[in-house]
Structure 1
Amino acid sequence: MEDEKRKLEKECCHMTNISYIVDGQEMAFDNYEKVEKIVHAALQNFHRDFKCQRCQEVKDDVDWNRDWFDLPDDVVLETVRLWRRFALQDPWDRHGNLKDYWRKVLEHEEMALLKIEERLDDAKYQNERWGKWLDLAIEGSSEKMRPPP
């Protein structure tokens, strides 16, 4: 289905200045919709609508334009893989809410300090920061990342 949609976009709109990225690690996992939302939020500053070169109008249909980002392919893939790795930690309960551990790790003051340094124009930096956070949270061995009592 996804390949058909991309093929139709390319044929209909004669889009030549885009590239399609294939992960190569496609796998089924629970909560993929949540991961997609997280990825889109992480990359929102790099999202681009596109002007159809044939129609000369911006496609407003969310299904047509929400996956276009002005970033190098490797950075987009790194973002997808980072948040898929997070999802594979089973961070949500059966109601779709973050489990206590993950909520506390996100709310910890150390995360707030890291956010001060956040550069909204640098997705690679963001991936590095969140990757370090995820590594520490998965290990669970860092006292810095443990929420205070």
Structure 2
Amino acid sequence: MEPVSTIVGSGTILSELGKQLSAQRTLHQQLKQLLTAPLDSQLKAAVLQHGNLNLFVASPVWASRFRYLLPQLRTQLRANGIDVKQVRTRILPNDSVKPRQKKRDRIVLSQEAGEQLRQSAEAIEDPSLREALLRISRHGMVNR
């Protein structure tokens, strides 16, 4: 079995991907040096393709802050020999941050209310309505 470094350096597609990855890392480091704190820590990745630079940040708030700096950043990049036609910000959410889910409030009934609903359900002829009331009535029982 060949070492990964041999496969990546062998002129294959993997070799091209390795070169692109290296160029992107270098660009990312150059951009971080041009940015001031705290913006430098919020830049997650940068991809330059055909003169279009995409800056990936963690949230829409940071994307907005970066947008204000784009004209100045474009000038700084050109001064450093990086020709950029267009710069855009993109959102790349952090994996550890989960979207907030709305907590569903649990229905809580007293035992008496649950018992009244159960008794009412027994007197109803419509089976679907009776079943729905019985289901609701169980929320008032301690042992379901």
| Bin of the TM-score, shorter chain as denominator length | under 0.3
TM-score by length of 1: 0.24
**If each structure's strand is expressed as a fraction of its own residues, which one has the higher value?**
2
Higher alpha-carbon Rg: 2
The answer to which structure, 1 or 2, has the higher relative contact order (CA under 8 A, 6+ apart) is 1
